[in-house]
Chains A and B, each alone.
Chain A
Amino acid sequence: MNAPVLEVTDLSQDFGGLRALNELSLTVGTAEIVALIGPNGAGKTTFFNCVTGIYTPTEGKMYLHDAAGEKHLLNGRKPHLITAMGMARTFQNIRLFSEMTVLENVMIGRHCRTKAGIMGAIARDGRTRREEQDTIDRSYALLELVKLQEFWNETAHNLPYGAQRRLEIARAMATEPRMLLLDEPAAGMNPQETNELKELVCSIRDKQGLSILLIEHDMGMVMSLSDRIYVMEYGSCIATGTPAEIRTNPRVIKAYLGESDA
């Protein structure tokens, strides 16, 4: 594994008496695709919410490394600051700005990389206009990346399900992340769409050198796509390794299929 981008040590999250995450440690390297799998309720999405600043973890440390290799603590930072540091995510239950157009959705992602304020908006000076045109063009380029360019002026909620998931990826990409968190990107997709998604994720990693952390239930996709896999159960990490190692790990098989000799 090359230089780490995301580094999490002993992360725990309690909700009242319930321990949703239990001393979870995880590292994602540069341009690495890591999958996080486990049965429903294992705490995968909770982990995403901690890392992106939506929840404040009870214990543990989370670091994001910048391009210069410097470590930045994520604990206690607000979500928008974490996004500005280079962490972007998609949501399990699609959270698009559904009444806005496809292009506008992506443009929001550029918010933290642009500066125009209220005064600029009212004056519409050259700089504001140039910035806006730049935002529009970059957003359109991202729509081309996820092959949604022909729908750019469509209202987001009119898109088919698979397209909405791809739009979420484009929106996350617009924040210029170093680390991309994908929460069940293939959920509800047909096999052909899943294949296209796999190609998209690979090309994002290969061309842009992004690190990707993926929650997914589609095992075919997980096994073929990821460099390493973390398996979670009841908030703890029960196994980690390459896809080949995970496939034969007895604890993982037990967690997914139950005891073999009952």
Chain B
Amino acid sequence: MHRICKAAIAALWFMLLTLPVLGIKLNTVTNTVVWRFDRILALGAGIFVLAVIWDWCFSRKAAGQPLVHLPQGFSLAGLLEAFRNSAGLRWGGIALLAVVLVGMPLVGSFYQTNIMISALLYVMLALGLNIVVGLAGQLVLGYVAFYAIGAYTYGLLNQFFGLGFWACLPIGGFLTVLFGLGLGFPVLRLRGDYLAIVTLGFGEIVRLTLQNWSSVTGGPRGVSDIPRPGFFGMQMDIAASTTYIYYLVLAAVIITIVVISRLKNSRVGLALQALREDEIACEAMGVDITRVKLSAFALGSCWAGFAGVIFAAKTTYINPSSFTFMESAMILSMVVLGGMGSIAGVVIAALILILAPEYLRAFSDYRMLLFGAIMVIMMLFRPQGLISGERRRYRISALHGNEGDRS
């Protein structure tokens, strides 16, 4: 009953607020005011229903119950756990995934392959940012700058020196690491909000430089006619070359996942996580935080560099408007939505956030609205992200014996 009352009040309040905008129309032909009460009532009814659902959701949350009753013992983390426990399930899953991913460009259309390429590029970006934000806890808002540096490295080196894709890929990675370290040094002492503001500024500086340094970067016109990657000198048409890039990105993503998961579970990865938890304790336990922070920046930024080079090769045309703050925010949302530090979660979130808007083009007018709503609901009801609390397995000799010791 209380819930109905609250919802009714919310609906009334909304009707009142929107009355001037939605309810009154001026007919300029006859110079009369038209009252459109039907619209207001429809809106009120809609708000009423939404408010009841909203309130119900919160009461469930307050009672500590899940919003949706999943079948007994079912959860994303549980599913992952099952995958880790059963070798058959794991290899079956991987094989299925491999078939789908490898077969995608053969079955899917040119358009779908293209979408998939950009989704996979974002997976790479999100995984890179995940090192800095998710593992090391350094809030970086200008991450897209590294992506831009990678892309422009290829674009400009090709334009001025005629360097090819394969030469630029390592150079792009190396340059972004340098920029990452360059950004890392001055911000060593900063944390939290201050770090966020400085890195936001860094992102804007890079974008504005690209936009205004016309003699080198081409300014807002950007760099065009960037060659697609070659395959032992073979000439390919657009479709074949897109398929080729697709496999290239797929390989790059797999390498990224392998490398980052190994890093995450290593001595360095542990130090990164300790840095996120408590800087002072970290120092007192003998961790050189300067070094660890700089490694975090270097390790995080290099993936954006690689992704940038591939992006330039894929689109053959780059300009500064591809590297706005919106992109940084998007990549950050992938990390947050996926669950800080979780590799599987971030991959899933990146795929959802890129693919969903593409396949929701039918509702193109509402897709950003939907996107925003999903983010708000997610943060209210599952702030820890899709997957959280993944735990590494340790084998303790004293408990599990020495058998199967691979060392």
A binds B: yes
Residues in chain A within 8 A of chain B (CB atoms)? 52, 54, 78-80, 83-84, 88-89, 91, 95-101, 103-104, 107-109, 111-114, 116-118, 120-122, 124, 126, 128-133, 135-137, 140-141, 144, 152-153, 155, 171-172, 174-175
* Nearest CB on B from A80, distance (A): 5
Q: Given the complex, which residues of B lie within 8 Å of A54, measured CB to CB?
A: 280, 283-284
Tell me whether A140 and B396 are in contact in the complex, defined as CB-CB below 8 angstroms, given that A80-B287, A95-B281, A111-B286 are known contacts. yes
State which of A99, A107, A155 has its C-beta within 8 Å of the C-beta of B270. A107
* Nearest CB on B from A138, distance (A): 10
* Nearest CB on B from A94, distance (A): 9
B10-18, B259-267, B346-354, B365-373: which lies at the A interface? B259-267
**Inter-chain contact A140/B398, CB cutoff 8 Å:** yes
**Inter-chain contact A121/B263, CB cutoff 8 Å:** yes
Q: Given the complex, which residues of A lie within 8 Å of B289, measured CB to CB?
A: 80
* Nearest CB on B from A251, distance (A): 33
Q: How far is the CA of A138 from the CA of B243 in the complex (A)?
A: 50
Q: Given the complex, which residues of A lie within 8 Å of B274, measured CB to CB?
A: 97, 100, 108, 111
Chain B positions 235 through 262: 1 when the CB is less than 8 Å from some CB of chain A, otherwise 0:
0000000000000000000000001001
- Could you tell me which residues of chain B, from 374 to 404, have a CB within 8 Å of some CB in chain A? 389, 391-392, 394-399
Q: How far is the CA of A184 from the CA of B389 in the complex (A)?
A: 31
**Inter-chain contact B287/A118, CB cutoff 8 Å:** no
**B406 interface hit (Cβ, 8 Å):** yes
**Inter-chain contact B284/A52, CB cutoff 8 Å:** yes
**Inter-chain contact B407/A129, CB cutoff 8 Å:** yes
* Nearest CB on B from A122, distance (A): 5
> Total number of A-B contacts with CB less than 8 angstroms?
128
Q: How far is the CA of A124 from the CA of B261 in the complex (A)?
A: 12
**B225 interface hit (Cβ, 8 Å):** no
Q: How far is the CA of A130 from the CA of B406 in the complex (A)?
A: 9
Among residues of B, the one whose C-beta sits closest to the C-beta of A120 is B266
State which of A101, A116, A174 has its C-beta within 8 Å of the C-beta of B268. A116
Q: How far is the CA of A161 from the CA of B280 in the complex (A)?
A: 20
**Inter-chain contact A111/B267, CB cutoff 8 Å:** yes
State which of B273, B284, B391, B399 has its C-beta within 8 Å of the C-beta of A79. B284
**B148 interface hit (Cβ, 8 Å):** no
**B193 interface hit (Cβ, 8 Å):** no
**Inter-chain contact B284/A116, CB cutoff 8 Å:** no
Q: Given the complex, which residues of B lie within 8 Å of A153, measured CB to CB?
A: 391, 394
Q: Given the complex, which residues of B lie within 8 Å of A101, measured CB to CB?
A: 391
**B81 interface hit (Cβ, 8 Å):** no
Q: List 8 A-B contacts (CB under 8 A).
A: A97-B282, A99-B276, A108-B271, A121-B269, A133-B405, A133-B407, A136-B394, A140-B396
Q: Given the complex, which residues of B lie within 8 Å of A136, measured CB to CB?
A: 394-397
Q: Given the complex, which residues of A lie within 8 Å of B389, measured CB to CB?
A: 155
Q: Given the complex, which residues of A lie within 8 Å of B280, measured CB to CB?
A: 54, 95
* Nearest CB on B from A139, distance (A): 9
Q: Given the complex, which residues of B lie within 8 Å of A133, measured CB to CB?
A: 395, 397, 405, 407
State which of A109, A116, A126, A141 has its C-beta within 8 Å of the C-beta of B266. A116
Residues in chain B within 8 A of chain A (CB atoms)? 259, 262-263, 265-271, 273-274, 276-278, 280-289, 295, 299, 389, 391-392, 394-399, 405-407
Q: Given the complex, which residues of A lie within 8 Å of B407, measured CB to CB?
A: 126, 129-130, 133
Known: A96-B277, A100-B273, A109-B285. 4 other contacts (CB 8 A): A89-B284, A97-B273, A137-B397, A174-B285
Q: How far is the CA of A221 from the CA of B251 in the complex (A)?
A: 61
Q: Given the complex, which residues of A lie within 8 Å of B391, measured CB to CB?
A: 101, 153
Tell me whether A128 and B284 are in contact in the complex, defined as CB-CB below 8 angstroms, given that A80-B289, A140-B396 are known contacts. no
State which of A80, A118, A128, A137 has its C-beta within 8 Å of the C-beta of B286. A80
State which of A97, A107, A118, A175 has its C-beta within 8 Å of the C-beta of B278. A97
Q: Given the complex, which residues of B lie within 8 Å of A175, measured CB to CB?
A: 285-286
Q: How far is the CA of A84 from the CA of B396 in the complex (A)?
A: 25
* Nearest CB on A from B278, distance (A): 5
* Nearest CB on B from A154, distance (A): 10
**Inter-chain contact A122/B259, CB cutoff 8 Å:** yes
Q: How far is the CA of A152 from the CA of B399 in the complex (A)?
A: 11
Q: Given the complex, which residues of A lie within 8 Å of B398, measured CB to CB?
A: 137, 140-141, 144
Tell me whether A83 and B285 are in contact in the complex, defined as CB-CB below 8 angstroms, given that A95-B278, A97-B273 are known contacts. yes
What 5 A-B pairs are tightest by C-beta distance, nearest first? A112-B286, A121-B266, A83-B286, A97-B277, A95-B281
Tell me whether A128 and B405 are in contact in the complex, defined as CB-CB below 8 angstroms, given that A98-B277, A100-B274, A171-B285 are known contacts. no
Q: Given the complex, which residues of A lie within 8 Å of B267, measured CB to CB?
A: 111, 114, 116, 121, 131-132, 135
Which of B263, B277, B295, B299 is most buried by chain A, counting CB atoms within 10 A of its CB? B277
* Nearest CB on A from B194, distance (A): 20
State which of A88, A100, A113, A126 has its C-beta within 8 Å of the C-beta of B277. A100
Q: Given the complex, which residues of B lie within 8 Å of A114, measured CB to CB?
A: 267
Among residues of A, the one whose C-beta sits closest to the C-beta of B288 is A80
Among residues of B, the one whose C-beta sits closest to the C-beta of A98 is B277
Q: Given the complex, which residues of B lie within 8 Å of A122, measured CB to CB?
A: 259, 262-263
Q: How far is the CA of A98 from the CA of B389 in the complex (A)?
A: 12
Q: How far is the CA of A116 from the CA of B407 in the complex (A)?
A: 15
Q: How far is the CA of A192 from the CA of B377 in the complex (A)?
A: 47
**Inter-chain contact A84/B281, CB cutoff 8 Å:** no
Among residues of B, the one whose C-beta sits closest to the C-beta of A181 is B284
Q: Given the complex, which residues of B lie within 8 Å of A124, measured CB to CB?
A: 262
Q: How far is the CA of A136 from the CA of B270 in the complex (A)?
A: 12
Q: Given the complex, which residues of B lie within 8 Å of A152, measured CB to CB?
A: 394, 396
Q: Given the complex, which residues of A lie within 8 Å of B405, measured CB to CB?
A: 133
Q: How far is the CA of A137 from the CA of B384 in the complex (A)?
A: 31
State which of A79, A112, A137, A174 has its C-beta within 8 Å of the C-beta of B396. A137
Q: Given the complex, which residues of A lie within 8 Å of B268, measured CB to CB?
A: 116-118, 121
* Nearest CB on A from B305, distance (A): 16
Which of A79, A112, A126, A132 is most buried by chain B, counting CB atoms within 10 A of its CB? A79
Q: Given the complex, which residues of B lie within 8 Å of A111, measured CB to CB?
A: 267, 270-271, 274, 285-287
**Inter-chain contact A83/B263, CB cutoff 8 Å:** no
Q: Given the complex, which residues of A lie within 8 Å of B263, measured CB to CB?
A: 118, 121-122
Tell me whether A91 and B281 are in contact in the complex, defined as CB-CB below 8 angstroms, given that A80-B287, A103-B394, A108-B287 are known contacts. yes
